[in-house]
Amino acid sequence: MASLFESQFQNQRPLQGARVGIREELSDLITNVDAKETPISSMARRGSKPGNTTFRWQVDRNPDPSVELGILDGKDVDPTNPSTNSDFKQYTLGYRTEVENNIHLFRRAVHVSNLTQDILNLAGVKDELSRQLAKATIDLKRSMEITFTSDILPAIDDGVTPYRTRCLTAWIKKDKATASKNADKYGVQNQDIRTIDENFVTPESSIIGTNSLVENLNENTVQDLMTSVYEQTGQFKNHEAVVGTKLKRQFTELVYTTRAPAGTPAQSGIRSTRDANADTIKASVDYFEGDFGKLALIPTQFLHAGVNPYTIVEYTEGGVQKFKLYDGRTTTEDNRVKAQTGDGNTAGVITVGNGGLEAAKATMTGAQQGALTANNLVIAAASNTAADRNAAYAVAKVRANLHAENAKCKGFVIPWDYLEVRYGGNIAQVRELTENGGGPRRMMEAMAALLVHSPLTFGMFDYRSNLS
């Protein structure tokens, strides 16, 4: 991938004087790079440039049909009091509403020393600045992808919180879509935000797996989701689902549901097929064909689990090494994830000794184990021995990694006609920064917003990892 960008930037050297501030165009590259790895931001329609930092559009739906008992021949329409007269149908309230979203600014900056850029002959690198810009572009695109799949709610720049776009999970899940205040776990001030009319929120029947392990995915639940999507759209057609890696694997495991004779293991059904004309064994499911259409599975590594990654903070208290977990990117005590009971340990602390988590769980009450399962814990070593510290840290690390594991279990059914990414005029343009003698500097910016024309048409797999 680096060579693609080297062709754009090779032979460049630090620019001076009047050229500072000139932008190098990367619009096409940012929309195409890493397309297979970032399917949502790559496959979504590229909409028109937002006319403002906050922009609005209308969404519409059709009324539910009703049985008609007929009209007497020759009966006229009564023109009086249209608002209360049954002869007139109002197709506004409940059938059309206005929604809005904000722009979102993404930025990367790179710096290469003069020595690295002009003198050092690094193996396989023609131009280190080009290489850094290539990596920054890929990094930016991946960050856009994982941001767009998150539960971030819109925010307006108030000098503390920057502009933020409503992201996909916040369009789909009802608790987010109808929230009147912004979530504070991302460090957002409690701003009033425009809610989505409940008549246009993705129905709960189109979201499967909530609070359930990914292993519980089965044919019936997928059929239920596809049925719900069909009931909202009225269209029998093929759909595409962007899915995490564990969810993709679980679709393949559905082959195990082949009916087996009574008394035999459920997994005795045939799972793999062999191509008679090739030395290939196929053990994957790329499509799910149900009663209401075919679902194509598009795997990705860049989904968001809906919560921020946990942050581990190591500290010593009373000669004992402890590890606090924080929900979110800030480490204030308000964001501390606390255990519910102490029972035998320091209140609110689960002690992990040399035996590790399983040994610790054996000494816990049910309430403590429940707190552990719910991710509500502060973890401490039993002593300051290296073994105990390592055991406690290992548990903390597992909990901190749950975000990434849960993200692998998520997925979105996306009707691409109803999803747009709107880019600002400076999408992925590179601005040269002032060079003060330390080597060339570049800044890359992308301004983008997510536009969902109708959340009703979307679906979601909301499973979680068995590590939770």
The full set of domain ranges for the chain reads 2-52+100-166+181-199+421-454, 202-300+407-411, 310-406
Burial of 305 (0-12, 13-18, 19+ CB in 10 A): buried
CB 164 within 8 Å of CB 179: no
CB 433 within 8 Å of CB 442: yes
**Tally of CB atoms within 10 A around 56:** 11
Q: Provide the residue type at 388 as one letter.
A: D
- H or E stretch covering 388: helix 386-400
Q: What is the pLDDT of residue 48?
A: 83
Q: What is the pLDDT of residue 81?
A: 66
pLDDT in tens, the chain (468 residues): 332 233 333 333 333 333 333 344 445 544 555 556 889 988 888 888 887 888 888 888 777 777 878 888 888 887 776 666 666 677 766 678 888 999 999 988 888 877 665 555 544 445 777 778 888 888 888 889 999 999 999 999 988 888 999 999 999 999 999 999 886 667 677 889 999 988 889 999 999 998 788 999 999 999 999 999 999 888 788 899 999 999 999 998 887 654 445 555 544 444 555 555 666 666 678 889 889 989 999 999 999 876 555 666 777 777 777 777 665 545 555 555 554 333 333 445 666 666 666 676 676 666 666 655 555 566 777 777 777 777 777 777 766 667 778 899 999 999 999 999 998 865 667 877 787 877 888 888 888 999 999 899 999 999 988 754
* Angle, CA of 346, 311 and 162, to the nearest 5°: 135
**Tally of CB atoms within 10 A around 10:** 13
Structure tokens at 428: 């992925």
Q: What is the pLDDT of residue 347?
A: 42
Burial 441-463 (b: 16+ CB within 10 A, else e): bbbbbbbbbbbbbbbbbbbbbbb
CA dist 225 and 212 (Å) reads 15
Q: What is the pLDDT of residue 16?
A: 37
Q: What is the pLDDT of residue 299?
A: 93
Whether the model clears a pTM of 0.75, i.e. scores above it, the answer is no
Burial of 218 (0-12, 13-18, 19+ CB in 10 A): middle
